[in-house]
Structure 1
Amino acid sequence: MQEKSGSLVEWVVPLAFIACAAWLTWHLPAFTLSWFPPQDPSQYDKLSALFGRIDVTPTMAGLFGGYADMVDWVALLLLPIFGYLGVRTVRRAPMEFESWKPLDRLAVFIGRLTMMLIVLLCSVMIYEVVLRYVFEAPTLWANELSLWLAGFVFLCAGLYAMQQRSHIRIFLLYDMLPRSLQRTCDCISTGLIVTFAFFLIYGGYGEAFDKFYRWETFGTAFDPPIPATLKPMVLLIMVLVAFQAVVNLVSDWNAEPVIHSAADDIDADEIERLKAAVGADDLDAPRGATQSNTPRKS
């Protein structure tokens, strides 16, 4: 029997993972300066000055002779722990796809992170609206933070959509083919995805590494490191999407052919809930009978 999804641990672990990831993302220059400091003195001074400006705990001394303090190291150690716990404890919801391999669990956990990032994104926007239009005291960071979170949501949602087989597909010709030719089409589409991911990483690695290494920021008052984080994230997500496409191909190889129709968009469970709410007799009554029973105005 499938374990029920939505338990408390499925909320706490992803939120803890997001908290550790957010702290590490903001303090990554500390680890760059400690482990791989720039050889160019001017670039080193620029990066150290940037970190001195954004450091949340400037009074804490760095450990092991570096810039990263105790909080940074704790976040670094807890991040993989929460990630492992999240992948192990995530549960498939009834409406989600039934494939459940290890990489599927990772994609679903990332999907859970994406859902919570959407909640955080909406919270930031509501906070900004209240401050701007009620108290007339807008923030300097809400707009850029919203863009930053939206970028992560967009990227991570793509991986979850791939695992759920909910990405855009055109089935007009695919459904007409025999199962053997459908497998051939699946191989071709998976090969194209893997090829695209390879050349995207091959062509974009240098730029992504350069932006990350010098910690390129957005150039605003808040000045978040959007280019330094989203560019490498694009490449990382594309690697995971390519692996997920291969996993989907293997998982669906022996699956029975599915004929798609307009009825696929109808949620039977939702219809049953509506019937229970308003009364099945009212929903099942013919339109003509309903109209005939309605008194006419003279």
Structure 2
Amino acid sequence: MSLETEAREEVRDVPQDPLSALLLPLGRPFAVAFLLIVAFSFYEVVMRYVFDAPTIWVHETTTALTALCFAFGGAYCLGTDRHIRVVLLYDHVSPRVRRILDVVISLVGAAACAMMAWAAWSLAYKAFYTPGGQFRLETSGSAWNPPTPAIVKSVLFVVLCLMCLQFLLQALRHARRDAGVDAHHGPVGEGRFDDA
């Protein structure tokens, strides 16, 4: 393992900004939710194929939990700088150009999250209110009929708003960074929230 790779591994769970520092502790409960999804699915398989008594709640519960976990996963990856990068060109430019790319990428990410949050707001609003303006939670329409669509749509809207703010905070962090310091290849922890 190269020194560069080791340096990257050491800073894996370091929050990138103050908002991310607040969000990262939620990672463990969401990780436990994935274990619950597996346990619920196993329970359903046993009930359906061993006892011939399928449940009415497992499929909708696991689908909703998975959606919530993946939505939060975006904010977690962004907050710990674990999002996917195509480094084919990025690794071959100077730290000054990387800084510019980091700012531009963060601003584009913020704009994308803002547009998706705008779309998600409409879905979330409709999941909580009838066209006449009366409050009601959208339900799944199944035999169990839980309000999971309303919950998932509202959480998605909130997470997209948080990710938009995270991207803006990271753009600010990259813009303030010394042009000679590389946020991803420089010294361990350089330019990170916890070292500020």
Identify whether the pair has TM-score above 0.5, normalized to the shorter chain: yes
Q: Distance in 2 between matches of 1:258 and 1:192?
A: 19
Q: Distance in 1 between matches of 2:121 and 2:14?
A: 34
1:183–1:206 distance in 2 versus 1, CA, 3 Å: same
Matched, 1:103 2:19: yes
Q: Distance in 2 between matches of 1:168 and 1:101?
A: 18
What residue ranges of structure 2 are gaps of 5+ in the alignment?
1-9, 130-135, 186-196
Q: Distance in 2 between matches of 1:210 and 1:100?
A: 34
Matched, 1:223 2:135: no
- Summarize deviations over 1:149-180 as a string: whole Å, max 9, x none: 11111101111111122221101111111111
1:110–1:181 distance in 2 versus 1, CA, 3 Å: same
Q: CA deviation at 1:98?
A: 2.7
Match of 1:209 among 120, 125, 128: 125
Match of 1:200 among 116, 135, 150: 116
Match of 1:239 among 161, 168, 182: 161
Q: Distance in 1 between matches of 2:89 and 2:144?
A: 50
Q: Secondary structure at the match of 2:68?
A: helix
Q: Distance in 1 between matches of 2:11 and 2:18?
A: 19
TM-score, normalising length from structure 1? 0.51
Matched with 1:21 is none
- Of residues 126-135 and 98-107 in structure 1, the stretch that sits farther from structure 2 once superposed is 98-107
Could you say which structure has the larger radius of gyration?
1
Q: CA deviation at 1:95?
A: 6.8
- Summarize deviations over 1:230-259 as a string: whole Å, max 9, x none: 122221111111222233344553453545
Q: CA deviation at 1:225?
A: 1.7
Q: Distance in 1 between matches of 2:172 and 2:82?
A: 17
1:147–1:109 distance in 2 versus 1, CA, 3 Å: same
Q: Which has the higher contact order (CA 8 A, sep 6+)?
A: 2
Residue type of the alignment partner of 1:216: E
Matched with 2:35 is 119
Matched, 1:141 2:60: no
Matched, 1:183 2:85: no
Does the CA contact (< 8 Å) of 1:197 and 1:239 recur in 2?
A: yes
TM-score, normalising length from structure 2? 0.75
Q: Secondary structure at the match of 1:139?
A: coil
Residue type of the alignment partner of 1:118: F
Alignment of 1:40-59 (within 5 A): none
Q: How many residues end up aligned between the 2 structures?
A: 167
Residue type of the alignment partner of 1:173: L
1:170–1:201 distance in 2 versus 1, CA, 3 Å: same
Matched with 2:182 is 256
Q: CA deviation at 1:100?
A: 6.3
Does the CA contact (< 8 Å) of 2:17 and 2:166 recur in 1?
A: no
- Summarize deviations over 1:173-219 as a string: whole Å, max 9, x none: 11111111111111111111111222223344233212123311111
Does the CA contact (< 8 Å) of 2:37 and 2:65 recur in 1?
A: yes
Does the CA contact (< 8 Å) of 2:33 and 2:65 recur in 1?
A: yes
Match of 2:72 among 156, 179, 186: 156
Q: CA deviation at 1:147?
A: 0.6
- Identity percentage over the alignment? 28
Q: CA deviation at 1:143?
A: 0.9
Matched with 1:166 is 82
Cα RMSD, aligned residues only? 2.3
Q: Distance in 1 between matches of 2:60 and 2:109?
A: 31
Does the CA contact (< 8 Å) of 1:175 and 1:258 recur in 2?
A: no
Residue type of the alignment partner of 2:75: L
Does the CA contact (< 8 Å) of 1:99 and 1:251 recur in 2?
A: no
